[in-house]
């Protein structure tokens, strides 16, 4: 019987096969190890989240009670002091008992509705919440919280079974202009000592816009800008409103503008030449630097002046821009204007009147009327300095809110300064400016 000896090539193939098998096993080992590590990481993450969810309702007072329980029991056992052990046991029992108040899952359908989402400062604003029990089991009494701006409305929800509906109406304070965030509605469960407190959010917040007070300027449009034909420029146009001169007909001219009497007299076609006009462009600039006002009441009056003049310009379909020391207010419609004014606040870091005028001069070089608004903190010198920074061709009117000063109108080298004490004086001043 002959013996078969492995050749050199066979031994090489066997060696390579063994090496490949070792690499595959090593790769499988690393993959298995990676999967194990990944599974362990996910398990740890899930466990930590569950533990965090369990411990989230514990308040700082509850953590203090837990610390007292641990320290007292440990010290009592180590030092042999029975009183410490009893104190720690009592603290632990109280904490465990308090935890029973937050057990169980509650299911509600919660709707929040505002009577109006936009009101004028001082008007009554009402909100309503409707809560329906969706749980199969009976729900114990709990508290409902509705944040309203910086305030908090709290309602007591009675014991409810599936299908029960509870309604509550609350009043929203609107003494100050601004944007109030109403909600979210959340249910609160906890113990009487405040050791544990569990909150569940049921709705998203709803914004309530508290608009500034404004007036309607009846028959007072001329005081802002009144020019039925627009403001003429030196640019010539083949079709507009402001007639300029006659010229020879050029192929392509609109035949509607041929002047037939001059054509008959001269024997050649003559067409009308116009001066190009532009719509009135109004810029309302309000300083939000607190140094330009004596108090918040002056600033609120200034915002109301901006709102009143802006709404009139929008009604007259004029091109309007509203600029503050920090930002620009959208003024496409009356609603967007008032919504933007509701968000304005005055602050020390805001730019003053001069910087505001400089911004207007750089961004609105073609404006026809600039209205600047400030308070008693702005002097006549400040206004005159601001006048030099706006376009020279623009008409400039400055309203200075000064409740303690004598109201009136003063004209200084192309600058009109109106000292106004309250918003109620604005319509008369606008009429006077239109007559001048």
Chain center to CA of 77: 58
Residue from 217, 434, 393, 406 nearest 305 by CA: 217
- 29-88 pLDDT per residue, tens: 555 555 455 667 777 777 666 665 666 677 888 888 888 888 888 888 888 888 888 888
Together in a domain, 296 and 248: no
Average pLDDT of the residues in 224-249: 49
* 408 and 367 fall within a common domain: yes
Distance of CA 306 to the CA centre of its chain: 19
Respond yes or no on whether the N-terminal peptide bond of residue 155 is cis (omega within 30° of 0).
no
Contact 206, 236 (CB under 8 A): no
8-state DSSP, 6: P
Q: In whole angstroms, give the CA distance from residue 293 to residue 360.
A: 20
Question: Which tokens is 324 given?
Answer: 């503050």
Q: Is residue 83 part of a domain?
A: yes
Same domain membership, residue 124 and residue 181: yes
Task: Name the packing angle between helices 296-315 and 426-435 (round to 10°).
Answer: 50
- The residue among 42 and 342 whose pLDDT is bigger is 342
- pLDDT value at 236 more than 60: no
- The pair of structure tokens assigned to 9 is 């090539």
Q: Are 404 and 428 part of one and the same domain?
A: yes
Q: Is the CB of residue 354 less than 8 Å from the CB of residue 386?
A: yes
Residue in 406, 431, 430 with CA at minimum distance from that of residue 419: 406
- pLDDT of 249 reads 78
Please tell me the predicted confidence (pLDDT) of residue 266: 85
Assigned domain for 327 exists: yes
CATH number, residue 381 = 3.40.50.410
Q: Indicate if 79 and 115 belong to the same structural domain.
A: no
Taking each continuous run of H as one helix and of E as one strand, the counts in the chain are 9, 20
More confident residue, 33 or 227: 33
Q: Residue for token digits 């595959």?
A: 24
Strands 408-412 and 415-420: antiparallel
All residues at 6 or more sequence positions from 168 whose CB lies less than 8 Å from its CB, including other chains: 128, 129, 144, 155
For range 263-275, the mean pLDDT: 78
Whether residue 30 lies inside any domain: the answer is no
Residues 158 and 116 in one domain: yes
In a domain? residue 16: no
Same domain, yes or no: 274 and 389: no
- Nearest 5°: CA angle at 231, between 225 and 233? 155
H-assigned helices in 56-153: 60-79, 82-99
- The gap from C-alpha 436 to its chain's centroid, in whole angstroms, comes to 40
Domain of residue 187, CATH code: 2.60.40.10
The mean per-residue pLDDT over the stretch 160-189 comes to 89
Q: Supply 221's token pair.
A: 């449009």
Query: How many independent structural domains does the chain possess?
Result: 4
Q: Mean pLDDT across the stretch 300-320?
A: 91
E strand or H helix that includes residue 48: helix 8-55
Same domain, 71 and 175: no
Of the two residues 186 and 54, the one the predictor is more confident about is: 186
- 4 pLDDT band (50/70/90 cuts)? very low
| Token pair in block for residue 120 | 């004028």
Distance CA 89, CA 173 (A): 47
Shared domain for 365 and 334, answered yes or no, is yes
CA quadruple 49, 63, 108, 145: dihedral sign: negative
254 plus 372 within the same structural domain: no
Any idea what DSSP says for residue 343?
T
Structural domain containing residue 183: 108-211
218 belongs to a structural domain: no
Q: Does residue 28 form part of some domain?
A: no
100-123 residue pLDDT tens: 877 777 888 999 999 899 999 999
Q: Which residue is associated with the tokens 């400055």?
A: 398
* Domain contains 19: no
Residues 147 and 179 reside in one and the same domain: yes
Return the closest-CA partner of residue 401 out of 324, 286, 255, 233.
286
List pLDDT tens digits, range 366-391: 888 899 999 998 888 888 898 888 88
Q: 183: closest CA among 288, 111, 258?
A: 111
- Within a domain: 31: no
Cβ contact 411:344 at 8 Å: no
Same structural domain for residues 286 and 420?
yes
Residue 243 pLDDT level (bands cut at 50, 70, 90): very low
pLDDT value, residue 315: 87
């Amino acid at each position: 019987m002959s013996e078969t000896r492995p050749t050199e090539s066979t031994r090489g193939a066997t060696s390579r096969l063994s090496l490949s098998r070792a690499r595959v096993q090593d790769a499988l080992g690393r993959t298995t190890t990676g999967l194990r590590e990944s599974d362990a990481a996910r398990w740890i993450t899930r466990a930590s989240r569950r533990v965090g969810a369990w411990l989230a309702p514990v308040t700082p007072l509850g953590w203090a009670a837990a610390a007292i329980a641990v320290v007292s029991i440990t010290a009592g056992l180590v030092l042999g002091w029975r009183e410490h052990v009893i104190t720690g046991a009592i603290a632990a029992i109280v904490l465990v008992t308090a935890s029973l108040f937050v057990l169980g899952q509650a299911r509600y359908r919660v709707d929040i509705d505002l009577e109006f989402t936009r009101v004028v400062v001082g008007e009554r604003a009402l909100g309503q919440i409707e809560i329906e029990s969706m749980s199969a089991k009976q729900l114990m009494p709990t508290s409902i919280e509705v944040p309203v701006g910086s305030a908090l409305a709290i309602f007591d929800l009675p014991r409810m079974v599936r299908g029960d509906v509870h309604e509550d109406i609350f009043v929203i304070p609107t003494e100050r202009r601004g944007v109030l965030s109403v909600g979210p509605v959340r249910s609160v469960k906890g113990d009487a000592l405040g050791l544990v407190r569990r909150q569940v959010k049921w709705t998203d917040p709803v914004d309530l816009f508290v608009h500034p007070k404004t007036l309607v300027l009846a028959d007072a449009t001329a005081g802002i800008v009144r020019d039925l034909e627009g403001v003429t420029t030196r640019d010539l146009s083949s079709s507009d409103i402001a007639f300029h001169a006659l010229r020879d007909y050029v192929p392509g001219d609109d035949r509607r503008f041929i002047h037939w009497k001059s054509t008959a007299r001269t024997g050649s076609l003559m067409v009308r030449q116009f001066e190009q006009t532009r719509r009135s462009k109004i810029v309302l600039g309000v300083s939000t630097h607190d140094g330009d006002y004596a108090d918040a009441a002056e600033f609120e009056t200034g915002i109301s002046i901006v709102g009143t003049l802006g709404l009139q310009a929008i009604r007259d379909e004029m091109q309007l821009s509203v600029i503050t020391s920090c930002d620009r207010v959208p003024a496409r419609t009356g609603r967007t204007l008032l919504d933007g004014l509701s968000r304005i606040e005055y602050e020390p870091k805001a730019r003053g009147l001069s910087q505001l005028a400089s911004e207007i001069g750089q961004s609105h070089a073609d404006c026809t009327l600039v209205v600047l608004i400030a308070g008693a903190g702005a002097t006549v010198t400040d206004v005159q300095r601001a006048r030099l920074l706006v376009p020279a061709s623009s008409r400039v009117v400055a309203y200075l809110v000064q409740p303690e000063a004598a109201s009136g109108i003063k004209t200084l080298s192309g600058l009109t300064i109106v000292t106004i004490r309250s918003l109620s004086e604005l319509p008369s001043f606008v009429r006077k400016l239109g007559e001048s």
